[in-house]
Structure 1
């Protein structure tokens, strides 16, 4: 073997070129010679036959679809952008969107000009995102839209998540969770910039329903409006609009009104617990309002505090501290509501300034908070101690001054309720014997004396068209000859009917109507038994007319109404004392007779130690209604008890529980006052009848002196009635 032969390679040649291999050097061109032409790489072989045709067609389709899709996407983007810019150009300055209430607020003040009730849509004033409490700002973002500062008005991730949840829970993709950002919620609150037009919508409720619809078209418009807002306004501006327009329960619109309503402080001063409670209201403001259910509101606030901790707005220690020490209502917030009294004032006031108010209205009222509390406490005490458990009996109480100014009102056993049926002003019920003072007022006005007499005896009348009518006393017993005072004191039916027929039902009806019992009064003899109807408010006002010397009274609760920021009132009181109904002397004698009812008669349970009290009991047919209406020199109070469905009361008459409730109320109402005598005048005592001369033989019983019995012409009352109606 030749020694010059090269040894073989130990490593095989690479079959594939290295990616980093150095390319072969290109020979330099020789001067004077043309460079060789570069060879084109060979074109890939095209498949021939059907397969090639199909693949070529498929490729062309894909390329065409891609071009069309890109074109459509560009056109849609341009269209959306143009739409967004157009909507943006129509948006006003941010200040125009701050107060979006459909109606104004009504603030009710008591007799000392302190706020006791709020009605309408409350608005505490404009706040801005950078001036409110940072805890409220953080709580709202943590709860409603944690990516608020990162998105462009829409959150694709949130929308996709909401659709997934809705579908998994068996709902439609747009039903339930909405995935809405704060910007979208603000767009909805703004109703996409539309305002209520009575020509377009039947009412405001229809307008609101239209604003809240969740159709696909509506969602698309909402998205455009949201993006337009993001172009027009800053994030702080959008958050400010949201915080000023959002409803937060309790009639409060906006953060400032809610902070004042619940905590008695400005929105800038809220601590984390209070801020969390307010942010928690945004999902269900009416249900979660602390004035409706404080425990439920606190539980929701605890969840908000946890979210704030998770997103870094609070430390674990801070979140735990405020969860352990939740927010509570301020003292003023707990006392707000106004109950039946506020509802009555709102219903009795002019609708243009109450239910339909477009401006913020302030109403000064006659309410005395001390008397209102005394009334509520008395009702609760008597019902807790003396009404059978499970009873559905209801109650109403009205306290007023002699001039008709209502100082307290309870319209049902739920003494602090709002928005419920008000039995004090709305329940029209038979008055029973509480009507009798108007009969005797008519007699006294005509010159009868409280000492005049009438016979209480079995009595029947022939009623044209109805036949014989034989009324009875409540006890089914008869007292014989009695004075008018005795008849009223014992609430005897027969004497009341006889006096009513003697003086004339037409005059009795006139006197009752002039005193304020203005509903249809039954022009029949049974009217004397209180078959006609009235509300407790009307009856109490009528008795106030007796107390003040015989002048009519219109009960009122509104003292003055003015617009917020204005010093001059738009209207004053619509009630008070009116025309004289009976002479002062007749009224004072009637008070004297009614004082005997409480001191010695059917109303003894209404007596007050150290006070003169006058009043009258009343029980309607089959004991469906029980009344006691009475007064001292300072206040008139009426009490009614009964069932809403007219079920007869069992074991209850006007002289029972109603009189006890009356005494309980008035004991606290009069507390701290110096007793004053009633404005009453007793008549001169009648001369005793002459004693008969001694006779050796039995003589018939002496007849009463003519002056002891009401007379019509030369006949006694009983004789006149027998001649007119016949009977016994």
Structure 2
């Protein structure tokens, strides 16, 4: 029997074990433990090293323990600050245009924009409506991660600090590493409104807002977070598009696009967009109106950034580089700067330089005439004036009714806010005053054929003693007609005429024609000792051309607020009251034609066109004038030094007459010749040779009276 107790043993497969493998594992584990013990014992560092290592580990654990707690506290503070600023942010519409001053946009006589003053806001442009090229150019240049960050860029800030320190500046001086959101935070001054009592001007306010400091940088962080949460990316970009200053008085990209390119910001091409975005770095420095080549070079850098970041294809990039942006015709010419300044200065302050509204001014300026005047002045100085000369010049062109068509206030023509020698410089007028002496005589009944003596003369001046005027050429001609006396600018004859009609009558005629300056009281007034501006003198000559009525020079036709149809102000100036008879004015016109035909102004002669005028040179050659007119326009020219030092070899019949001729030839090139309205000598009875002009008029007329019976009686007795 098998087994025990008759039972069979169960059939069970033997359990197989890999005793070799098990033993190997045991040996391997034991070996590892032994190796670790041996390694630990064999590589055990000396106790000083272990102490230092332990210390550093302790410090690291402490820093971590403290650091994450500080970070949590800072995060909590930033969160609370963000929540503090969030409800204080105003509606975005109220931030689009926050200028405290308005702008003045000036249109020429044909309705074309030629100048702006103040800060122009062209209208709201949004991130959705702006040209995609401009949007991309701004992001590529200013903040390429704009749509990926939460308002600040730590990487950008650290990079800016590194650059500033490397260049020897303070960490927050120079590059700021600011995102577009942070820049907008600065533009709205971190929510601090403009307060006139705190800042002297809006410029000071904005300068303070742009000033970087550690505290301002810290404050920008929660403020930027609040803006991102309140407005969103597109609205923040919209604020940036409308509030950024872009040079030449343009506030916002819409105004800048209109000013520089004559189009809306939603129409600019890649080259124009790059130039506008390039202005953000330094608006005044890179303004294309200041230096077009510099602006184009900056735009090329922006185009490179746009191309590198995938905003421009290779073809678009090459096309934009090959065809850089150029200024519009109006922006390129920059004509009428002096005229624009005069218009603003002569307008009411609340509608001019102190306006809080956007004002549109329709003016009398003719841009073609303005350009012709500027080119004429440049031509004469380049071809006939010694290099290095410091002499200055001014030009005024106006119509017979006083409408100013052009104004040049100095040799530098593309300026604004500069000293305007046409309106601000009061200089002695010299012999350009003499026509008013003869105007008084003609209005009293004398005529151009009357005789006057050209001989040495001495006049007693109360309080000054004897005064003996001399002729410019030192010669004396004897008996000459009034026409000859004026044509040759004879001093002694002019003084005799003035003495005969009375100094007060001459003063009154000059004042009525528009010379508002303090006129001399003595006989020296007759030879132009008084001071006046070129604008006043040109306006007075316009009164002779129009037949003897005064004019008030004007440049404004209409002034209204932007968007309004009703004008706030209309034409302010024009023809006024009659000063002398038309007969006297027409005779005087002929006498002044002889100045150009055979007198001191021969260098102003125009081929095939009648012209009248008068030269003027003051004592010691400090001032040289030529003022004259055709049937179409009156042009006044002045030359002198700003420091009132004498000119070198310049008289009114020289360079000023040549400038006048150059201006007239250009502005009348396309106009048919028209005769001047004048009375000629043959239209009058011949002079009475037996009755030479002396103390009494040959043909009697009602003299001008002073209004004082005693004065009039004495004048009748004394003959003056």
SS at match of 2:242: helix
Q: CA 1:318 to 1:632, structure 2 compared with 1: closer, same or farther past 3 Å? A: closer
Asked if structure 1 preserves the Cα contact closer than 8 Å seen for 2:400 and 2:542, the reply is: yes
Runs of 4+ in structure 1 over 4 Å off? 9-13, 15-20, 53-72, 683-689
- 3-state secondary structure, aligned to 2:354: coil
Q: Determine which of 574, 597, 600 is the counterpart of 2:595.
A: 597
2:141 aligns to what?
143
The answer to which of 641-650 and 181-190 deviates more is 641-650
- In structure 2, the partner of 1:222 is 220
In structure 1, the partner of 2:691 is 706
Deviations 1:650-675 (A, max 9, x none): 22211122112212211232233333
CA distance in 1, matches of 2:416, 2:60: 69
For residue 308 of structure 1, what is the aligned residue in structure 2? 306
Q: Please say which of residues 69-78 and 366-375 is displaced more in the overlay.
A: 69-78
Contact 1:451 1:708 in 2 (8 A): no
Corresponding residue number in structure 1 for 2:710? none
Distance 1:710 1:449 in 2: 14
**Quick one: structure 1 residues 688 and 524, their matched pair in 2 at CA, closer, same or farther if it must change by over 3 Å?**
closer
Does the CA contact (< 8 Å) of 2:496 and 2:694 recur in 1?
no
Deviation at 1:63, TM superposition (A): 7.8
Seen in structure 2, the aligned counterparts of structure 1 residues 124 and 487 have a Cα distance that, compared at 3 Å, is same
Q: 1:180 aligns with which of 178, 181, 184?
A: 178
Q: Equivalents in 2 of 1:434, 1:54: separation in Å?
A: 99
* Distance in 2 (alpha carbons) for counterparts of 1:55 and 1:109: 80
- Corresponding position of 1:489: 487
Q: Distance in 1 between matches of 2:590 and 2:308?
A: 76
Distance 1:14 1:624, change over 3 A: same
Residues 367, 557 of structure 1: 8 Å contact kept: yes
Q: Are the counterparts in 1 of residues 336 and 408 from structure 2 also a CA contact under 8 Å?
A: no
Kindly provide the CA deviation profile for residues 611-670 of structure 1, in whole angstroms up to 9, marking residues without a partner as x: 222111111111111111111222111111122222222222111221122122112322
Structure 1 runs not aligned, ≥5 long: 1-5, 21-52, 690-703, 714-719
Q: How does 1:284-433 map to 2 (within 5 A)?
A: 284-433=282-431
Q: Number of residues paired by the alignment?
A: 668
Secondary structure of the 1:268 match is coil
- Counterpart of 2:453? 455
Which 5+ residue runs of structure 2 have no aligned equivalent?
1-18, 34-50, 699-713
Which residue matches 1:523?
Answer: 521
Per-residue deviation, 1:188 = 0.6
1:158 to 153, 156, 159: 156
- Return the offset for 1:712: 7.8
**What is aligned with 1:233?**
231
What is the CA–CA distance in structure 2 between the aligned matches of 1:124 and 1:246, rounded to whole Å? 12
Q: Take 1:263 and 1:518, find their aligned partners in 2: how far apart are those partners?
A: 42
After superposition, what is the alpha-carbon deviation per residue over 1:428-462, rounded to whole angstroms, capped at 9, x for unaligned? 11100000111111122222232332222222233
More off after superposition, 455-464 vs 110-119? 455-464
User: In 2, distance between residues paired with 1:316 and 1:614?
Assistant: 64
Compared CA separation, residues 147 and 361, structure 1 to 2 (3 A):
same
Give the deviation of 1:142 after TM superposition.
1.2
Pick from 473, 478, 481: which aligns with 1:475?
473
Aligned to 1:636: 634
Q: 1:234 to 1:479 in 2, by over 3 A?
A: same
RMSD: 3.0
**Displacement of 1:496 after TM fit?**
1.4
Alpha-carbon distance in structure 2 between the residues aligned to 1:220 and 1:516: 63
Q: Structure 1 stretch 252-261 or stretch 539-548: which is displaced more?
A: 252-261
Query: For residues 619 and 57 of structure 1, do their structure 2 counterparts lie closer, same or farther at Cα, with a shift above 3 Å needed?
Result: closer
SS in 1 for 2:587: helix
| Residues in 2 aligned to 1:12 and 1:605: alpha-carbon distance in whole angstroms | 122
Deviation at 1:361, TM superposition (A): 1.1
408-417 or 523-532, which moves further after superposition?
408-417
Is the contact between residue 427 and residue 531 of structure 2 (CA under 8 Å) also seen in structure 1?
yes
Please say if residues 131 and 267 of structure 2, whose CA atoms lie closer than 8 Å, have aligned partners that are also in contact.
yes
CA distance 1:430–1:269, change in 2 (3 Å): same
Greater Cα offset, 330-339 or 642-651: 330-339
Q: Measured at CA, do residues 492 and 77 of structure 1 come closer, stay the same or move farther in structure 2, by a change above 3 Å?
A: same
Query: TM-score scaled by structure 2?
Result: 0.87
Q: Is the 8 A contact 2:443 2:584 kept in 1?
A: yes
Give SS of 1:283's match: coil
1:76-115 deviations in Å (ceiling 9; x for gaps): 3222212211211111222222223342222211111122
Q: Distance in 1 between matches of 2:626 and 2:516?
A: 20
Structure 1 residues 134-178: Cα deviation after superposition (integer angstroms, max 9, x where no partner): 221111111111111222111111111111111121111111111
Aligned counterparts of 1:620 and 1:376: Cα–Cα separation in 2: 25
Pick aligned residue for 2:117 from 116, 119, 136: 119
**CA drift at 1:291:** 1.6
1:665 corresponding residue in structure 2: 663
Cα distance in 2, alignment partners of residues 330 and 92 from structure 1? 37
**Contact 2:500–2:694 (Cα < 8 Å) also in 1:** no
